[in-house]
Amino acid sequence: MLSQLLRSRPTTRTRLAADTGISSATVSRAVEHLIGSGVIREGGEIVAGTRGRRAVTLDLDGSRGVVVGIDLGASNTRMIVADLVATPLASVELPTPSELGAVELAEALVHTARRLCGDRWDLLQSVCVGLPGAVRANGPSVTNANNLAQVEDPRLLETLRARFATHVQLVNDADLALLGEQRFGAATGAPTAAILTFGTGLGAGIARDGVLVQGRHGIVGEFGQLPVGPLGTRLEHMVTGPGILRRAAESGVTMTSPADLFVTEPEAALAAMRNQFDTALVIALTAITVACEPDVLVLGGGLAPSLEPDLERYRDAIELHVHYAPRLALAELGAHSGAAGAVVVALTDCYRRLGVADDALGDAPVGALLDLDRVKAVAVPDRP
């Protein structure tokens, strides 16, 4: 019932009846009940040019609660506060206080969230935090967080839960970025999609039928660990910044930034390195393709924009190997995809508690597009 409302929001009683196959009588009664309990709200009437009585639009009452989405990156942290229909209310971007321990870090996050929420703090329904590590289902606990070790400390989650006093979920940051792009960015309309992020390490996320594929040990998507290079070099070291720079140094190539690899007319030594990069990248892309056959494969992270001119070439290479290639696309939300994805997860949590059927939770638009301009518009200064 609510499920269909989410799918085609905003809608009307008549459309709900038609879409669900439930009789209009029952729909009316159910809607009456939902309005009574404050979940749904009647909106303005449609200005339709047709004859007959005008339908009353129905929508979730977004103002009944807020959620917080946090992307806790190795260097920067982004946070978005949104209402229950995904309207961004406030956002902030600040350097991650990586010098802090787990408890202090958690308290700093809560403090910032409190500032962003303002007088809506009491309406907080759910919080999701993305972090650069593997999230195991037991607890959950975090492992493999090489770039921000303190998030492996279980007291981080304990403190967050205690101070936020609501549901708090931890999720891998690449998974969140994928969710963000799926709902608001490059992978909209692609229920099965994957992402590959070139950050400090190589991250990947997979979603099938609108649901994240998250193993119990959180290692789904760790394609960076594949020992595909000569001497068992990990794939990760061949396509991410630090690895590229190290390999350049070993080969005696001067390189100030990994982006140098993508100049249009490279010298021989650089071209050889670029070749190795391409080979490794195609392996990663092919591996993801055969792992889940995504409709769209999103490329994100700092290096991704440099790859734009060659997307078609990569796509052809994949197709050559497996006779199919997903659409390759650059991340559209950029640095905000993680926090946007965190908002999606937090909203999904809210919707589940409202009784929305599981199969509808993964469905395409949770609501208004979370548009970037608006996120920026509601940005507040780092320190008050």
Partner DNA sequence: TGACTTTGAGTGCATGATGAAATCAAATAG
Partner DNA sequence: CTATTTGATTTCATCATGCACTCAAAGTCA
Binding at 146: pick from a copy of itself, DNA, none (beta carbon under 5-8 Å per type)? none
Piece of the chain touching DNA by CB under 7 A; list 19-27, 171-179, 262-270, 368-376: 19-27
CA end-to-end distance (rounded Å), the chain: 43
Q: Which helix (H) or strand (E) holds 158?
A: helix 154-164
By CB under 7 A, residue 39 contacts DNA:
no
Cβ proximity of 331 and 195 under 8 Å: yes
DSSP assignment, residue 22? -
DSSP assignment, residue 379? B
Cβ-based nearer residue to DNA, 28 or 98: 28
Q: How far is CA 236 from CA 225, 256, 337, in A?
A: 6, 20, 21
- Residue 204 pairs with which residues in a beta bridge? 196
In whole angstroms, what is the distance from residue 243 CA to residue 355 CA?
47
By CB under 8 A, residue 208 contacts a copy of itself:
yes
Min separation Cβ 1 and DNA, Å: 8
Piece of the chain touching DNA by CB under 7 A; list 13-21, 102-110, 214-222, 287-295: 13-21
Binding at 254: pick from DNA, a copy of itself, none (beta carbon under 5-8 Å per type)? none
- The three-class DSSP label of residue 326 is coil
Min separation Cβ 355 and DNA, Å: 13
By CB under 7 A, residue 254 contacts DNA:
no
Binding at 50: pick from DNA, a copy of itself, none (beta carbon under 5-8 Å per type)? DNA
Longest dimension (CA), the chain: 78
Q: How far is CA 200 from CA 167, 203, 221, in A?
A: 29, 9, 16
Within positions 52 to 111, which residues make up the interface with DNA, using CB under 7 A?
A: 52-56
In whole angstroms, what is the distance from residue 180 CA to residue 368 CA?
13
Min separation Cβ 198 and DNA, Å: 49
In whole angstroms, what is the distance from residue 303 CA to residue 293 CA?
23
- DSSP string for 292-305: H--SEEEEEETTGG
Binding at 51: pick from DNA, a copy of itself, none (beta carbon under 5-8 Å per type)? DNA
Binding at 217: pick from DNA, a copy of itself, none (beta carbon under 5-8 Å per type)? a copy of itself
Cβ-based nearer residue to DNA, 25 or 231: 25
Binding at 144: pick from DNA, a copy of itself, none (beta carbon under 5-8 Å per type)? a copy of itself
- The three-class DSSP label of residue 127 is strand
By CB under 7 A, residue 12 contacts DNA:
yes
Binding at 372: pick from DNA, a copy of itself, none (beta carbon under 5-8 Å per type)? none
In whole angstroms, what is the distance from residue 48 CA to residue 26 CA?
25
* Residues in contact with DNA by the rule CB under 7 A: 12-14, 21-26, 28-32, 45, 49-56
* Residues in contact with a copy of itself by the rule CB under 8 A: 134, 143-144, 192, 206, 208, 213, 215-217, 219-223, 225-228, 232, 234, 279, 282-283, 286-287, 289-293, 321-324
